[in-house]
Chains A and B, each alone.
Chain A
Amino acid sequence: MNLDLAGLAFDAGGRLLVRKTLAGLPPGSTVTVTGRDPFLTLHLRAWCRSAGHGTSTTPDGGVEVVTGRRDAHRWAQAERAGEPGTVTRRPPGHWGLAARGALLEAGGPDPAYDLSDRDVVWADLAPRLYAQAAASQWNPATAIPWDATFALPADIEAAVVQIMTYLVENEQAALVIPARLLTRVHPHFREVVGLLAVQAADEARHVDVFTRRALHTGGRMGSSSAGGRASLASLLAEPDFTLASFLLSVLGEGTFVHLLTFLDRHAPDPVTRAVTRLARADEARHVAFGVAHLEHQSASDPTMLGRLRAAVERRHDVLIDTAGLNQDVFDALLLLAAGEWTPEALGRGHLAVQRLQEDMDTGRRRHLSRLGFPDDEAAELSALHTRNFM
């Protein structure tokens, strides 16, 4: 076979033509390369040497290239990292960060991912939820009417600030948990990794907008109770992916969806309404993944319900001596629902907060039933959920 580079220099594009010509040839094939560039022989011979090809010079000044085995050897033990559209049950660690379906040269690192079993991390809903999450991102600078003018009575403003302060610390926990988990998930399950990443990004945005609302009128942040932080610390202490997902997404965020709905309804100003409404939509998505993931797992793991129950009971025992919900937060919720300091209004507020807690309980029981708990057990477990809501 002959390849004439004409006036094209090897270092000015000729290399590509040579590579393309040699690419499909079996080892031992010969190609005579000719051309007019004075550096051609020098460059071609040097390149062939490093690429594992042999060379000799022809009587008319051309270079005869004999293809080597280097490329064939490099890819001899290569394998596909599965198929792009198929999720493998147990992807091996050495597939590592490679794209699903990529051709892997043998010999790379072999990292250990402790979450590498499809039945532990996967949910069939994950690809759709990821697409929805990516499409639902909102810009805090434009989605919130920060320029809207309003003036609230000092007590109502203080209640809003207290609730925002409480929300921030809860969202900090909700940020850290998926961020920690995603580093442990095998990248083969990229939709799950993506969902956890978006979840963490959602929470970062919530922390941001809740903080900005708290400081919007120039005051200081509210209080943070020891019991509230203890409740969140017990959430962070759960190392098991399934149990952490259950406690955070199904029970915690599931409860928070009701809280954010309540705040949207009783928000005294447009900024509070917007931040809680937008956050609520994100949290609902997190709950959907948590439930879908656990449904997927319960289908293959008959011990799962027992482990979920034990996790709730364990957390309840840990928190039994803590105060639960910050009293300042509870009072702030009541005042927001009341809207004013009249006995009638405060009575209405009290009823509204009671209804909120009933709604939270109903929601938790519904999720628990969906996972397979009988009604009485669902009611019992819901009652053991942290009084801190998250």
Chain B
Amino acid sequence: MTTFTMGAVAYDPKVVTIWDGFRAWLTAAGLPFDYVLYSHYERQVEDLVAGRIDAAWNSPLAWIRARRLAEARDLPIRALVMRDTDRDLATAVVVRADSGITAVGDLRGRTVATGAVDSPQATLLPLEHLRGCGLQPGTDFTVHRFDVGVGLHGDHVGGERDAARALIAGDVDAACVLDGNHLLFTKEGVLPSGSTRLLTTTARYDHCNMTVTGAADPALVARFEELLRSMSYADPAVRGLLDLEGLTSWEEGRTDGYDLLEAAVTASGFYDATGAVTAAGYRP
């Protein structure tokens, strides 16, 4: 039987533990499953659309590019499943608690720290949100990017953490931080509780999804979906893996949570309409 092959990006050594574990579980359940690792999302997406892999565990930005590439080729593409934790995220733009900045408009002429160039949550989405508030990045305010793990689409939290540190150090006037990471940074002491003030928050958006195209065997795709959705947090055999991957359950894939990112990608010129990489200075 043909092996169903999934791509995942190796943003952390734990990725091997996670997918080795899932691979064993899925094959024990009868699905001939294997995975390949990529060093960044761009090659993974290109391989998915070229049919070299059957599924891609995609970042939201990788989903946008995959969709554009596939649609330019009339290749059906969809988000098969996503984690429960991929739904309804938000990014905060915060300032120091003692800052004189009290409204978004006060950012005019100031410096805003972001994560890596390709981070949806810490760069693309909050900058698009500020555009929506009437401020053009690079024109109305200076963007200070912290490029850590470029090509990993923000999976590496390092750039975001550096942005938070720069805010506390007084090097920048505001910083863009994912909701969960703001909570994490308060716990770590990077942003001590009470040290920052919430300036504005993006609309809610969705994060990763398991992307498949029409090129994959529909029966295997259906079985893959069925097995992922059947993984129960009550099952000790997978609970540790679900904890590592940061989910309680696999949910149905949905794509209406990517509208803000679509707009951000277009406005920033990150990819063109056919999925070609057009971002200036982006070297994964």
Contacts and interface: CB of A to CB of B under 8 A. Distances in A.
Contacts of B178: 46
A52 B233 CA distance: 10
Given A52-B248, A107-B239, A43 B182 contact: yes
Contacts of B237: 107
A49 interface: yes
Nearest to A55: B88
Contacts, number: 72
Contacts of B179: 42-43, 45-46
A70 B232 CA distance: 10
B75 to A, nearest CB: 32
Contact of A50 (B90, B193, B197, B246): B246
A55 B88 CA distance: 10
A15 to B, nearest CB: 9
B240 interface: yes
B180 interface: yes
B281 interface: no
B183 A74 contact: no
Interface in B65-120: 84-85, 87-90, 92
B193 A46 contact: no
B223 interface: no
Range, interface on chain A: 20 to 34
A45 B90 contact: yes
A77 B234 contact: yes
Contacts of B232: 73
A148 interface: no
A283 B233 CA distance: 52
B198 interface: yes
Interface residues of B, number: 29
A46 B194 contact: no
A39 B236 contact: no
A107 B233 contact: no
A273 B249 CA distance: 70
B201 A42 contact: yes
Contact of B233 (A9, A12, A47, A74): A74
Contacts of A10: 183
A215 to B, nearest CB: 51
Contacts of A46: 89-90, 178-180, 182-183
A69 B249 CA distance: 10
A155 interface: no
B39 interface: no
Interface in B25-55: none
Given A52-B248, A73-B234, 16 more contacts: A11-B186, A12-B193, A12-B194, A38-B197, A39-B198, A42-B90, A42-B201, A46-B178, A49-B84, A50-B85, A50-B180, A52-B233, A73-B233, A74-B233, A106-B236, A107-B237
**The 5 residue pairs across chains A and B that have the minimum distance between CB atoms:** A107-B236, A73-B234, A52-B248, A46-B179, A46-B180
